[in-house]
């Protein structure tokens, strides 16, 4: 629908004449308003067909245009935080005609990616990294004698991350030539946006004011320190009467704003003025998430990341039926909170994604969203546990990586009673490598005294959460994105014996006997493979502690042990089985199947599973190939050397 059905002409004539930012800079300032309208319409149209992140980009249209209009990108560096808001950036930097492939296999990444475009100066899928990266670039430019500009664009949600403030503190101290732009799309810092505020921003960023300001430094330099401090406090007081500048000024930044991020004339003028300044500068831009699309303006949370939808009505396509693991956790948390008033729920800014919406409504006093601050989330939970409460931390596997030190130092060493509910474990599909939860078996398995469970289905997930909650000490339950295989939960919850696997099926073969040890999500697919090839199948349930007695028993009467996990092979659950067999001096042929030692590209979850050899067909083929090789060569492998085979 890129053409008008009545006239047959392009509905985006101006946009389709802009293939690079250099062409954008050839436009007249007055033409930018029309470009913004076309860009917003194009983004809505394409995303309605493909799904993806919509509301953040809609809010950043004018800011994106202004940045590429004012700055000489890519020589001037623009570093976006995360990338949710960067779809307009992709469109204006030569990827417009490929936007329909976004988040699909071999298509555009949903985030910024250095290998995708020279305009993507820094790749990121986790929040709060932009200022640190931009500061590094600014310092490098200075050391190399370059004169290019470096700009960091950070959303207000990402500014809740401590890393952002660490970078601000460092940047102010270094007096780096850096511009930080706060894209405040939730009105969470200051609502004072309008004609007066925009006028003040123009004045304060203008040449006359900055000349006087810089000149005053020279004059004040000859005065006693007490007089200089008085003059500086007077300036801060006058600005503080109309704008929230004090915090950023104290960190060493020259603060401008807030300005209306949808007023292109104001944004362009302010950026031009600030480009002429040097040192640490901070521009506060207020935008509306979902701007220009009424359904997204009304519910920016729902339209943050969307499935395909009707662009006329905003109605989303129906998602596939079935219970998601996130919903299983959500129901369990509310049920458990009803039983135990010591339960508290914690999330690092992922209320919807981690399934805490209902809990936050039913138990608002026991619900804590700590912002994008995973380190704080775990140590906060540790403090709650010290005083006798029972914290449940709902966190994505990929984000738990950011709090590893806190898990070891603040929770594990002290033996505190904290339950980690780890969502998005395993392959996550369209979000790609930055969000892949394929390392948690490896980095959690080595934490002393931590109980680590992986459910095979929805029913087991509920019981594992209950088991982990009842256990006195640090525990973790890791479950995948999406729906389970359809095993309904029971309202009554059952305690699982710690460290005990579940033998689902024993082989009837007399020779070439295979035992498949499946972890978590791999149990049901491997169960089907086991039925087909007549193998023993075990749902391992526990990654730590392993059911060593069962492993050793199976090694006595099977010719091949196969471990299957949706985790990297290096240091994963299969490694644990290898170590167990080696420790007890058992020699048996072993095959480890899991995620290879490489970063996986984005695509559907099913495509990623196939690429890793974790779909049913690939698992069966690998087992049969190993059996064939063993029979032909009578090879039996020491399990410690089988890692990665």
CATH number at residue 107: 3.40.50.970
**What is the Rg, in whole angstroms, of the alpha carbon atoms belonging to the chain?**
28
Whether 602 and 553 share a structural domain: yes
Whether 286 and 340 share a structural domain: no
Whether 413 and 552 share a structural domain: no
- What are 44-71's pLDDT values in tens digits? 999 999 888 888 889 999 999 999 999 9
- Which entry of 90, 95, 96, 289 is annotated as an active-site residue? 289
374 is catalytic: yes
Q: Could you tell me which residue, 504 or 638, shows the higher pLDDT?
A: 504
489 within some domain = no
Give the predicted TM-score (pTM) of the model: 0.83
- What are 189-200's pLDDT values in tens digits? 333 345 544 554
- Cβ(351)–Cβ(395) below 8 Å: no
Q: What is the pLDDT of residue 306?
A: 83
- What are 551-561's pLDDT values in tens digits? 999 999 999 99
488 within some domain = no
Mean model confidence pLDDT for the chain? 88
41 within some domain = yes
Q: What mean pLDDT do residues 244-261 have?
A: 84
DSSP 426-451: B--GGGGGGG-B-SHHHHHHTSTT-E
19, pLDDT greater than 60: yes
- Which entry of 38, 149, 249, 374 is annotated as an active-site residue? 374
Measured between alpha carbons, how far is residue 238 from residues 142, 229, 241, 243 in Å?
33, 14, 5, 9
233, pLDDT greater than 80: no
- The domain of 332 spans 325-478
Task: Provide the percentage of residues in the chain whose pLDDT is more than 90.
Answer: 67
Maximum Cα–Cα distance across the chain: 96
Measured between alpha carbons, how far is residue 317 from residues 47, 196, 298, 482, 537 in Å?
12, 43, 18, 16, 38
224 within some domain = no
Whether 287 and 334 share a structural domain: no
512, pLDDT greater than 60: yes
617 is catalytic: no
Whether 188 and 296 share a structural domain: yes
- Which entry of 90, 366, 402, 478 is annotated as an active-site residue? 402
98, pLDDT greater than 50: yes
Q: Domain boundary residue among 306, 337, 364?
A: 306
Q: What is the pLDDT of residue 468?
A: 98
Secondary structure class of 123 (helix, strand, coil)? coil
Confidence of residue 301 (pLDDT cuts 50, 70, 90): confident
Q: What mean pLDDT do residues 482-508 have?
A: 95
Q: Which of 133-137, 223-227, 344-348, 414-418 has the lowest mean pLDDT?
A: 223-227
The CATH number of the domain holding residue 530 is 3.40.50.920
62 within some domain = yes
Whether 294 and 398 share a structural domain: no
Whether 295 and 331 share a structural domain: no
- Cβ(248)–Cβ(255) below 8 Å: yes
Whether 545 and 633 share a structural domain: yes
53 within some domain = yes
606 within some domain = yes
Whether 372 and 329 share a structural domain: yes
516, pLDDT greater than 80: yes
Whether 38 and 93 share a structural domain: yes
| Highest mean pLDDT out of 371-375, 388-392, 636-640 | 388-392
423 within some domain = yes
Q: Domain boundary residue among 255, 276, 306?
A: 306
Q: What is the pLDDT of residue 307?
A: 85
Whether 79 and 182 share a structural domain: yes
424 is catalytic: no
Whether 127 and 256 share a structural domain: yes
Structure token digits, residue 616: 């049913």
Q: How many domains does the chain have?
A: 3
7, pLDDT greater than 80: no
Q: What is the pLDDT of residue 475?
A: 98
């Amino acid at each position: 629908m890129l053409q008008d059905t009545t006239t047959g002409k392009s509905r985006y004539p101006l946009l389709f004449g802009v293939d690079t930012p250099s062409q954008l800079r050839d436009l007249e300032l007055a033409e930018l308003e029309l470009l913004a309208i076309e860009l917003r319409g194009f983004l809505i149209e394409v995303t309605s067909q493909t799904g993806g992140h919509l509301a953040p980009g809609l809010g950043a249209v004018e800011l994106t245009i202004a940045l590429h209009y004012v700055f000489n990108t890519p020589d001037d560096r623009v570093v976006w935080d995360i990338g949710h808001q960067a779809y307009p950036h992709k469109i204006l930097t030569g990827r417009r005609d490929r936007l329909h492939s976004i988040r699909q296999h071999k298509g555009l990444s949903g985030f910024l990616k250095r290998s995708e475009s020279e305009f993507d100066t820094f790749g990121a899928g986790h929040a709060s990294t932009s200022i640190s990266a931009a500061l590094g670039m600014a310092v490098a430019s200075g050391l190399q004698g370059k004169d290019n500009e470096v700009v960091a664009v950070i959303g207000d949600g990402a500014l809740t991350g401590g890393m952002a403030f660490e970078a601000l503190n460092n940047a102010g101290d270094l007096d780096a030539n850096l511009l930080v732009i706060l894209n405040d799309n939730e009105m969470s810092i200051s609502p004072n946006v309008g004609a007066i505020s925009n006028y003040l921003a123009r004045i304060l960023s203008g040449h006359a004011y900055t000349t006087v300001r810089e000149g005053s430094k020279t004059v004040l330099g000859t005065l006693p320190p007490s007089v200089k401090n008085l003059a500086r406090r007077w300036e801060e007081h006058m600005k503080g009467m109309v704008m929230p500048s004090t915090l950023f000024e104290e960190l060493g930044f020259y603060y401008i704003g807030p300005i209306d991020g949808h007023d292109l004339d104001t944004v362009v003028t302010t950026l031009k003025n600030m480009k002429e300044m040097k040192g640490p500068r901070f521009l506060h831009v207020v935008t509306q998430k979902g701007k220009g699309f009424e359904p997204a303006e009304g519910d920016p949370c729902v339209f943050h990341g969307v499935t395909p939808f009707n662009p006329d009505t905003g109605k989303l396509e129906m998602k596939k039926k079935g219970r998601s693991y996130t919903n299983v956790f959500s129901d369990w948390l509310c049920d458990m909170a009803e039983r135990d008033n010591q339960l508290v729920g914690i999330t690092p800014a992922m209320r919807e994604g981690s399934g805490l919406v209902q809990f936050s409504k039913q138990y608002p006093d026991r619900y804590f969203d700590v912002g994008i601050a995973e380190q704080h989330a775990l140590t906060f939970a540790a403090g709650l546990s010290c005083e006798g409460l029972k914290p449940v931390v709902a966190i994505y596997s990929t984000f738990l990586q950011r709090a590893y030190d806190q898990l070891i130092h603040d929770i594990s060493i002290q033996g505190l009673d904290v339950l980690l509910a780890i969502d998005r474990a395993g392959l996550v599909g369209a979000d790609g490598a930055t969000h892949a939860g394929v390392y948690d078996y490896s980095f959690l398995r080595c934490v002393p005294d931590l109980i680590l469970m992986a459910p095979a289905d929805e029913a087991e997930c509920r019981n594992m959460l209950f088991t982990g909650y009842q256990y006195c000490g640090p525990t973790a339950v890791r479950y995948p994105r999406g729906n389970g295989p359809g095993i309904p939960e029971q309202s009554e919850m059952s305690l699982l014996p710690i460290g005990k696997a579940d033998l689902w099926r024993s082989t009837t073969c007399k020779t070439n006997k295979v035992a498949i040890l499946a972890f978590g999500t791999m149990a049901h697919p491997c169960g089907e493979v086991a039925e087909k090839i007549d193998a023993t199948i075990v749902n391992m349930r526990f990654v730590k502690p392993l059911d060593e007695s069962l492993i050793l028993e199976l090694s006595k009467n099977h010719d091949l042990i196969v471990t299957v996990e949706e985790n990297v092979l290096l240091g994963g659950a299969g490694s644990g089985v290898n170590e167990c067999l080696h420790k007890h001096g058992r020699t048996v042929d072993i095959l480890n199947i899991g995620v290879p030692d490489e970063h996986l590209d984005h695509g559907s979850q099913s495509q990623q599973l196939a690429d890793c050899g974790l779909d049913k067909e690939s698992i069966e083929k690998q087992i049969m190939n190993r059996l064939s090789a063993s029979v032909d060569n009578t090879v039996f492998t020491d399990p410690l050397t089988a890692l990665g085979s």
